[in-house]
Structure 1
Amino acid sequence: MQITEKLIDNDREGIILECTEIPLGIKQSNVFSPVFNTITIQAPNAFETALKL
């Protein structure tokens, strides 16, 4: 949370959570900037691709 606060204080427009463990501790409800969880963004596409194989 300290890192996200520093990023927001430095005018970052959003926080990208690029690790499977990070979203366990950082939630959109805890951060005032938009939070992007790459697992929830990428998983549907990976699932759809796997179904086509």
Structure 2
Amino acid sequence: MAQVGLRLISKVINMKKLRKDHLIWCSEKLKQMKFVDRKIKMEYSILLFPC
């Protein structure tokens, strides 16, 4: 799930028309990720993609 989240963040950041709410969504997703022992731990949320 964390890899999917990172790929979505990457796609959102590379969009041609990037809005402020997209950046806020990416920031919130990155805040949910923690790196522990070379592994990504993620707090899950219902909102998978920005509105």
TM superposition score normalised by structure 2: 0.29
Greater percentage in strand: 2
Instruction: Compare CA radii of gyration and give the structure with the larger one.
Output: 1
- TM-score, length-scaled by structure 1: 0.28
- Which has the larger share of helix? 1
